[in-house]
Amino acid sequence: MEFEAKEGFSALIDELYKEDWVVYSKKPFAGPQKALDYLGRYTFRTAISNERIKYVRDGKVTFTYRDRRDSDRKKEATLEASEFIRRFLLHILPGSFTRIRHFGFVSNRNRKENITCLKKLLGVPGKTCESPEQSLEELMLELTGKDILKCPHCKVGIMALHHLIPRFSFWMEKNFCGPEIIDTS
């Protein structure tokens, strides 16, 4: 469907929002927890997990993958570090892209009004989303059971900030000379 003017599309959207829509959704086969686990893996995952990276030596990275063409067998591949990083960076969305879009009562259009109405219907008092006074480290330990301050290799030593790598957009800079490293020690 094409529209000659932007106003025509906006008018259609306004008309659609006036309708009461009925959405059919059935119960997930393995239960709601399995559905949330599945969605969580695909929403917040990185391009490759740390467990799949086996070695980083002599400027090369060895990692595991599943060969779908060979009966789904687990295999190892080795790439030059620069090629591995290039492939990893292909999975990063540009800043203007949205990974998660909300729908229903938390969609952007009427979120505040819908949540206020839901709280009233459920008999929930005003503010219910007060965040606990926890540090990021404490929160991650509580949620994942992993202490993000411990060394991922020896599991004993405590990680300390050595230096920061500032955010840098390759698309914004035409003359890239390399980011400046800030030493915080």
Cα 75 to Cα 22, 54, 66, distances in angstroms: 47, 11, 6
Check pLDDT > 60 for residue 1: no
Query: How high does pLDDT run on average in the chain?
Result: 79
- Please give the radius of gyration of the chain, using alpha carbons only, rounded to the nearest integer: 24
Nearest-angstrom CA–CA distance, 118 and 151: 44
**Within 13 Å and on the Cβ side, how many CA atoms surround 3?**
9
pLDDT digits (tens, 9 = 90+) for 51-80: 999 999 999 999 999 999 999 999 999 999
Give the pLDDT of residue 129.
Answer: 56
Check residue 28 and report its DSSP letter: P
Nearest-angstrom CA–CA distance, 17 and 22: 12
CA 81 to chain centre: 24
Which range is least confidently modeled, 35-44, 70-79, 154-163? 35-44
More confident position, 173 or 76:
76
Give the pLDDT of residue 117.
Answer: 86
